[in-house]
Amino acid sequence: MKVSVDRTVCYGSAECAHRAPSVFAFEDGYGMVRPGREEQDDDPQVREAAEKCPSQAVVISE
């Protein structure tokens, strides 16, 4: 699966970085995917980060 953060809707809750810190970071007030971590196996922490993101900015594509 591929994971990204839509910065046009992210409002900086840092929920993704809290739930999956090995994949997401918090930079300049917004969540982001750490470089080189865009491609993921089916990781439950990443899926939870997407589900719990209050702005629904974490995008997972298969």
21-56 tens-digit pLDDT: 999 999 999 999 999 999 999 999 999 999 999 999
pLDDT of 22 reads: 97
Q: Give the confidence band of 62 by pLDDT, cuts at 50, 70, 90.
A: confident
Name the helix (H) or strand (E) containing 58.
strand 58-61
DSSP output for 10-53:
-----HHHHH-TTTEEEETTEEEEPTT-SB--S-HHHHHHHHH-
pLDDT at 7 over 90: yes
Do residues 62 and 9 lie in contact, with contact meaning Cβ atoms separated by under 8 Å? no
Kindly list the structural domains of the chain, giving each domain's residue range(s) and its CATH number in brackets, ordered by start: 2-61 (3.30.70.20)
